[in-house]
Amino acid sequence: MSYDVNNIFARILRQEIPCKKVFEDEKVLAFHDINPKAPLHILIIPKGDYTHFHDFHSRADAETVAHFYKKVTEIAEQFDLKESGYRVIANCGINGGQEVAHYHLHLLGGGKLGAMIGK
Ligand code: AMP
């Protein structure tokens, strides 16, 4: 799967469409999911042109990967999720149910979450 520069998250990164931003630095952007599946549902994306989890971990250098996950934990703490707990999900590819082809991690919390995999 080649990277589509016009996917919705690429357009958010270019500020062509708005987002409810919660964090940004030179490598990472995080914003509220437009259709939340939990009381708190944040999407965390690297700024590089990675299509999905597998692509990110295949091509990104170790510093970029480490930085990304450090920010995930910091954002979880920003929203007081460390003690209460939370879930992170990366849908990857067709069978993973991925809809937007720019790597993103779902950060879900703010209440007891349901079953991990629905039908
Ligand atoms: P996935 O199925 O893992 O690719 O998840 C894509 C997610 O992006 C879904 O949870 C959508 O609700 C979310 N989404 C789609 N468009 C937007 C948008 N413009 N702003 C924020 N979240 C979005």
Amino acid (1-letter code) at residue 50 = Y
So what's the pLDDT on residue 116? Answer: 84
Model confidence pLDDT, tens digit, residues 96-117 = 999 999 999 999 999 999 888 7
More confident residue, 33 or 117: 33
Q: What atom of ligand 1 comes closest to residue 33's alpha carbon?
A: 22
* pTM tops 0.95: yes
Dihedrals phi, psi of 29, to nearest 5 degrees: -130, 140
DSSP string computed for 7-61: SHHHHHHTTSS---EEEE-SSEEEEE-SS-SSSEEEEEEESS---SHHHHHHHS-
Has residue 50 got a pLDDT over 70?
yes
Task: Give the C-alpha separation, 88 to 32, whole Å.
Answer: 14
So what's the pLDDT on residue 2? Answer: 86
Identify the active-site residue in 54, 67, 102, 104. 104
**Ligand 1: which of 99, 102, 105 to mutate, judged by most atoms within 8 Å of the beta carbon?**
99
Model confidence pLDDT, tens digit, residues 3-22 = 999 999 999 999 999 999 99
Specify the residue with its C-alpha closest to ligand 1, atom 18.
34
Model confidence pLDDT, tens digit, residues 72-98 = 999 999 999 999 999 999 999 999 999
CA of 99 to the centre of ligand 1 (A): 7
Has residue 118 got a pLDDT over 90?
no
Amino acid (1-letter code) at residue 104 = H
Has residue 119 got a pLDDT over 70?
no
Q: What atom of ligand 1 comes closest to residue 12's alpha carbon?
A: 19
Q: Which DSSP letter does residue 110 get?
A: S
